[in-house]
Structure 1
């Protein structure tokens, strides 16, 4: 019962870390859905990386990361 939960949480953490670093370093998002919905990929990547680094131990990193991800979806780019 606990093992499937650990696998799901671990895979979500890994996906968040990989997608966050991809957006942060390359400045673009993989996949059609993310490309169309994320307006600021570097900010989204920074937020996702903070969420992944926060894990379950540091709630302030998770809150700041979720805020950055939400802003990256909503704010229009200036250029």
Structure 2
């Protein structure tokens, strides 16, 4: 079942704590399609680094930059 949420005065979407905690992500991919918005949770850089430990020799800042670039390319 859905839940009604609101934007604050600065246009930020306020997510209920129980949903934020359940999803456990602080970064999302935002998509717009047919007048609807969709949020897809993104793994944080620590999770990515742990998953590919030994294969990835980048620091967390570089991983986050790569992730942001990947998302930007998907918007094209």
TM-score, normalised to structure 2, is 0.32
Q: Higher helix proportion, which one? A: 1
When Rg is computed on C-alpha atoms for both structures, the one with the higher figure is 2
The structure carrying a bigger strand percent of its residues is 2
TM-score normalised by structure 1 residue count:
0.31
